């Protein structure tokens, strides 16, 4: 893939015209810090947003407009059920940084969950699987990377491999780090593949907007890219840059 930097302008999260494509979009991690924005943005575009969660009652109380299904990424049968009527997936789940359940490991959730869900997606002929992965998956990492970061990157790399092998069309999004700044304040820079390692942040809201936009940008199919926020000159150009990836 050609390595080039695409600078874009202010991210606009303004509601887009409805473009519902038929099937539902399954969102894993839909109750999480990124996934909740993904669900809101899908609904704003007229999509059937289906959130996968271990606690649907709690999720429904927080976001009654979405469809909620009970499921656990460690339970392949629950994922098969959740996939009925779904044609696209946005995977934002992950073991929490300080998860109270010792069995909810990176291997089981971030990797095993992708393996099982990709298999279920293949069975129903899903059109796209958008995965939040991580920067660094293709790199010989520098010594300043802490072991706390190395472990997630290792499992993200394996999950990317499993998704590619599944044959389901994929989009691999590789952030460096995230924060809770409001979205649409800065531009978004996309770097095809995994060329650098740096401490560059993207706001979770902007990351959610990119995840959703990928469903409408065919050139993001079977691509992988890093992304981060940066002050840029032109306004609202990042969607065009995303659409030129590949």
| Residue partners of 142: CB distance under 8 A and separation at least 6 | 197
DSSP E strands, the chain: 24-28, 49-53, 67-70, 86-91, 128-132, 170-175, 177-179, 187-192, 201-203, 223-230
**Closer residue to ligand NAP (CB): 2 or 199:** 199
**Closer residue to ligand NAP (CB): 73 or 157:** 73
Residue 117 binds to ligand NAP (criterion: CB under 6 A):
no
- Tell me the three state secondary structure of residue 101: coil
User: What is the spatial distance between Cα 113 and Cα 132, in angstroms, rounded to a whole number?
Assistant: 13
Query: Using an 8 Å Cβ cutoff, are 120 and 83 in contact?
Result: yes
C-alpha dist (Å) from residue 87 to 21, 25, 27, 190, 211: 9, 6, 11, 26, 15
**Closer residue to ligand NAP (CB): 95 or 154:** 95
Could you say which of 9, 23, 32, 183 contacts ligand NAP (CB under 6 A)?
32
- Total number of residues binding ligand NAP (CB under 6 A)? 30
Least separation, in Å, of the C-beta of 234 and ligand NAP? 27
Residue 109 binds to ligand NAP (criterion: CB under 6 A):
yes
Q: Indicate the length of the chain as a whole number.
A: 246
Could you say which of 3, 18, 22, 55 contacts ligand NAP (CB under 6 A)?
55
Element holding 45 (H helix, E strand): none
Contact code string over 139-178 relative to ligand NAP, x by CB under 6 A: -------------x----------------------x-xx
Could you say which of 6, 8, 11, 35 contacts ligand NAP (CB under 6 A)?
35
Residue 29 binds to ligand NAP (criterion: CB under 6 A):
yes
User: What is the spatial distance between Cα 230 and Cα 215, in angstroms, rounded to a whole number?
Assistant: 23
Interface residue list for ligand NAP (CB under 6 A): 28-35, 52-55, 59, 72-74, 92-96, 104, 109-110, 132, 134, 152, 175, 177-178
């Amino acid at each position: 893939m050609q390595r080039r930097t695409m600078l874009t302008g202010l991210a606009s999260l303004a509601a887009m015209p409805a473009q519902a494509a038929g099937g539902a979009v399954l969102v894993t991690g839909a109750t999480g810090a990124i996934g909740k924005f993904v669900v809101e943005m899908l609904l704003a575009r007229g999509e059937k947003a289906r959130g996968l969660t271990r606690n649907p009652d709690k999720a429904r109380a927080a976001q009654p407009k979405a469809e909620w299904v009970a499921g656990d990424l460690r339970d392949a049968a629950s994922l098969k059920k959740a996939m009925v009527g779904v044609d696209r997936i946005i995977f934002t789940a992950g073991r929490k940084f300080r998860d109270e359940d010792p069995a909810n490991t990176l291997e089981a959730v971030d990797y095993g969950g992708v393996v099982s869900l990709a298999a279920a997606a293949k069975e129903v002929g899903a059109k796209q699987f958008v995965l939040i992965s991580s920067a660094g998956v293709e790199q010989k990492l520098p010594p300043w990377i802490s072991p706390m970061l190395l472990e997630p990157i290792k499992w993200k790399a394996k999950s990317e491999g499993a998704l590619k092998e599944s044959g389901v069309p994929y989009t691999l999004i590789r952030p460096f780090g995230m924060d809770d700044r409001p979205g649409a304040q800065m531009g978004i820079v996309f770097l095809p593949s995994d060329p650098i390692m740096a401490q560059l942040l993207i706001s979770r809201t902007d990351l959610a907007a990119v995840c959703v936009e990928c469903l409408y940008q065919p050139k993001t199919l079977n691509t992988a890219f890093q992304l981060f926020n940066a002050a840029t000159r032109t306004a609202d150009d990042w969607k065009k840059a995303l659409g030129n990836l590949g």
